[in-house]
Amino acid sequence: ARTGPVHDPAGAERRARAQLRPEHYDFIAGGAGEETALRENEDAFGRLALLPRVLRGGAERGTRVGVLGREWAAPLFVSPTAFHRLAHPDGELATARAAAATGTPLITGMAATTAVADVVAAARARDPEAVVWFQLYLQPEHEVTTALVRRAERAGCSALVVTVDSPVFGTRTRDLRNGFHDLPPGLAAENMRDLLPGAAPGGTRDIAMWPAGWDDLRRLRDLTDLPLVLKGVLHPADARTAVEQGVDALLVSNHGGRQLDAAPASVEALPAVAEAVAGRVPLLMDGGVRRGSDVALALALGAVAAGVGRPVLWALATGGEDGVAQMLTALREDFDRVLALCGGHRPEDLTADQVVPRGLPHR
């Protein structure tokens, strides 16, 4: 008999929309420009089919994967998204508890409305072994970047995720139309508080989106022993350079369609990056992942794990911690079933020859 929560990504967004202020819903749901990249992230998965393998026997099945020296319960993680307290009063604390309770690694970030130390503490209270990474944008002032890195280190984060797809801010069409450009009173990007000596006490500074270079990444490399994950790499040549520069992992992403609207879907960029990297570092991906088969497609095309952004915020808005835990559990169970139906026993069993375009002919 089937037990457990039913996975219903479209329903979750619909229910969240009914609950959120329209400008907050739009901030989360929206993308850049005409939202082509946003749509393509999901549509590209829809253009791909999985060829199942049969009669592979009943060896014990598991969803565990190894990433940067740790075992994850499933090839699934929570991507960094801004301002969780817009979705629910418990914000990032609820997300962190749900992620930890379900064994799902969490990437919290500098745009969180809860300080990273509190996020990690909430996760560790549920599971002392919880994996929490910190996402940042390199800042124009090295001291600000340094202060952020130290906050993440002191909090107990086990990797830094550097988002490199944002030399400037993407054009967020819906936010411009709605005039949404500030957090409501009482909410702030808490990690941006008191970063520089001499700053107004308790004051936050803006997150700068700024055209950093490889030199800046090297400075970050010298600053910390934490593993570095580069987020937002889509070009295979950049992936190759990143590996040569000693980056520890890549997160293939078009930022949920919020930066370059002409960017390809993340899943469509994945095969070329996988070929360029040739297994030298693990590849993560996010963008449009909504169901177990999306995770399976990403894995078959070279990722070791796939991240979810908006689905977490929809679940948070409607159900708080329980909502997020149910969504993550349902997604993991959905993936486990897809894995079995594809004839796989473990995530690594999914291979590129099992991915075919929909439509005839294919051979």
Nearer to ligand FNR, 204 or 351 (CB): 204
Which one of 36, 63, 79, 329 is in contact with ligand FNR (CB under 6 A)?
A: 79
Give the DSSP H/E element, type plus range, for residue 340.
Answer: helix 310-341
Query: Counting contacts by CB under 6 A, is residue 164 touching ligand FNR?
Result: no
Residue nearest to ligand FNR (CB): 309
User: Is 181 noted as a catalytic residue in this protein?
Assistant: no
Q: Which stretch binds ligand FNR (CB under 6 A): 142-150, 169-177, 253-261, 327-335?
A: 253-261
Please name the residue ranges forming H helices in 192-258.
Answer: 214-223, 236-244
Query: Is 82 labeled as ligand-binding?
Result: yes
Kindly give the pairing relationship between strand 132-136 and strand 160-163.
parallel
Place of tokens 């508890």: 97
Which one of 170, 288, 292, 302 is in contact with ligand FNR (CB under 6 A)?
A: 288
Total number of residues that touch ligand FNR (CB under 6 A): 22
Structure tokens given for 348? 């690594």
Query: Counting contacts by CB under 6 A, is residue 111 touching ligand FNR?
Result: yes
Nearer to ligand FNR, 316 or 344 (CB): 316
Please state the closest distance from residue 251 (CB atom) to ligand FNR, in A.
8
Contacts 24+ apart (CB under 8 A), 13-20: 13/310, 13/311, 13/314, 15/314, 15/317, 15/318, 16/87, 16/313, 16/314, 16/315, 16/317, 16/318, 19/317, 19/318, 20/86, 20/87, 20/317
* DSSP β-bridge partners for residue 182: none
Chain centre to alpha carbon of residue 221:
22
Nearer to ligand FNR, 111 or 342 (CB): 111
Kindly give the pairing relationship between strand 65-67 and strand 70-72.
antiparallel
Query: Counting contacts by CB under 6 A, is residue 264 touching ligand FNR?
Result: no
Please state the closest distance from residue 1 (CB atom) to ligand FNR, in A.
31
Please state the closest distance from residue 109 (CB atom) to ligand FNR, in A.
5
Query: Is 135 labeled as ligand-binding?
Result: yes
Cβ-Cβ contacts under 8 Å for 167 (sequence gap 6 or more):
209, 210, 211, 212
Query: Counting contacts by CB under 6 A, is residue 308 touching ligand FNR?
Result: yes
Separation of alpha carbons 297 and 74, rounded Å: 14
Query: Is 280 labeled as ligand-binding?
Result: no
Please state the closest distance from residue 78 (CB atom) to ligand FNR, in A.
9
Which one of 25, 36, 40, 81 is in contact with ligand FNR (CB under 6 A)?
A: 81
Separation of alpha carbons 262 and 297, rounded Å: 22
Asked if 22 and 178 touch (Cβ cutoff 8 Å), the reply is: yes
Nearer to ligand FNR, 25 or 344 (CB): 25
Q: Which residues are annotated as a binding site for glyoxylate?
A: 137, 172, 258
Report the interface residues with ligand FNR, using CB under 6 A: 28, 41, 79-82, 109, 111, 135, 163, 231, 253, 255-256, 258, 286-289, 308-310
Q: Which residues are annotated as a binding site for FMN?
A: 80-82, 135, 163, 231, 253, 255, 286-290, 309-310
